C-alpha cells in the first residue's frame, strides 16, 4: 500500500511540473526560445526544418513581444 501512495504522490508531482512548462506556440515563448541569445538553438531548429546545413544566420531582434 505504501508503494501505491508513493506512486500517486510522484504522479501528482510530475503533473504539477508539466503544467509549469510554457508552450512554444505562444509568440512570446517562441521569441524567447529562438532569439539572438539562443542562436545555436535557432540555427538547429531551422536546419531541422529545412533538412540542410546552414552556415550562418542573422536574427532580427529589433521587435520584442511582451506578455500582456
For 24-39, the pLDDT digits (tens) are 777 778 877 777 788 8
Global pTM? 0.52
CA 44 to chain centre: 13
What pLDDT score does 54 carry? Answer: 92
Q: Is the pLDDT of residue 1 over 60?
A: no
Three cell numbers, residue 68: 500582456
Tell me the C-alpha distance between 24 and 41, whole Å.
13
Alpha helices in 1-68 (DSSP H): 2-19, 27-33, 39-50
Amino acid at each position: 500500500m505504501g508503494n501505491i501512495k508513493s506512486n500517486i504522490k510522484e504522479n501528482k508531482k510530475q503533473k504539477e511540473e508539466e503544467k509549469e512548462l510554457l508552450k512554444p506556440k505562444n509568440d512570446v515563448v517562441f521569441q524567447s526560445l529562438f532569439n539572438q541569445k539562443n542562436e545555436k538553438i535557432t540555427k538547429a531548429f531551422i536546419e531541422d526544418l529545412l533538412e540542410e546545413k546552414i552556415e550562418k544566420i542573422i536574427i532580427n531582434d529589433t521587435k520584442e513581444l511582451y506578455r500582456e
